């Protein structure tokens, strides 16, 4: 069976169940923003928009389990398993299921699994674009606050040299997330459209954090 509007609505409804009580940095508004970005990029790149939309709705359904484990579980792996079960119940064609599950499994930045399909590349870019710029700045402060972490420690540049072992600890400040991940995002996007959108978001973000440290140092 192919994906149609009715099935997409079923997938969206099922996915929403996983976001009850979600942190503001990964709640349903994140999914809505990624959906808008993905549709924009997907139209320009020629992606299958129905497959892409389904993948967007499902890509973070494993987040709740990861947050509960404080990072011991990987949301993209859990989400891929959960997505596979949801899609099989809908009796979709196997090639469609495989593509969507791959999109979910490969969307994470801290992941060795590379997006292979156009839909997976588009989801990856849309998800990463929501982590930079003005919205991205707001999200990393929400993330740090959710785990009761400080705004900054002053050790961020040193810690950023590591491979993410700091994640979900008291060292995982908003500034560390910027140093470790956000300022590098624009160099890792996969589609021409995504790269174009990233430029202005990146420049705004760099200016913000330059101002941030000026204010920390008492410089006007």
pLDDT of residue 154: 84
Average pLDDT score, the chain = 91
73: CB partners within 8 A, 6+ apart: 62, 65, 66
Confidence of residue 192 (pLDDT cuts 50, 70, 90): very high
Confidence of residue 148 (pLDDT cuts 50, 70, 90): confident
Q: Rounded to two decimals, what is the model's pTM?
A: 0.91
Residue recorded with tokens 């060795």: 112
Alpha carbons 61 and 166: distance in angstroms, whole number: 23
pLDDT digits (tens, 9 = 90+) for 105-125: 999 887 789 999 999 999 999
Alpha carbons 31 and 60: distance in angstroms, whole number: 8
Map out the domains of the chain with their CATH numbers: 5-216 (1.10.3210.50)
């Amino acid at each position: 069976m192919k994906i149609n509007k009715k099935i997409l609505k079923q997938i969206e409804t099922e996915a929403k169940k996983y976001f009850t009580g979600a942190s503001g940095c990964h709640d349903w508004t994140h999914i809505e923003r990624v959906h808008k970005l993905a549709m924009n990029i997907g139209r320009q790149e020629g992606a299958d928009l129905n497959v892409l939309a389904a993948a967007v709705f499902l890509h973070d359904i494993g987040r709740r389990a990861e947050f509960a484990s404080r990072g011991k579980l990987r949301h993209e792996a859990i989400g891929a398993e959960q997505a596979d079960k949801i899609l099989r119940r809908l009796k979709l064609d196997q090639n469609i299921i495989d593509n969507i599950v791959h999109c979910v499994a490969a969307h994470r930045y801290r992941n060795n699994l590379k997006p292979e399909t156009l839909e997976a590349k588009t989801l990856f870019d849309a998800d990463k674009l929501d982590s930079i710029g003005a919205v991205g700045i707001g999200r990393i402060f929400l993330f740090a606050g959710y785990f009761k972490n400080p705004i900054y420690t002053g050790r961020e540049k040193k810690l950023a040299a590591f491979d993410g072992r700091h994640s979900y600890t008291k060292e995982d400040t908003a500034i560390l997330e910027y140093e470790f991940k956000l300022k590098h995002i624009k160099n890792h996007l996969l589609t021409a459209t995504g790269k174009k959108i990233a430029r202005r978001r990146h420049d705004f973000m760099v200016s913000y954090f330059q101002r941030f440290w000026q204010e920390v140092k008492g410089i006007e």
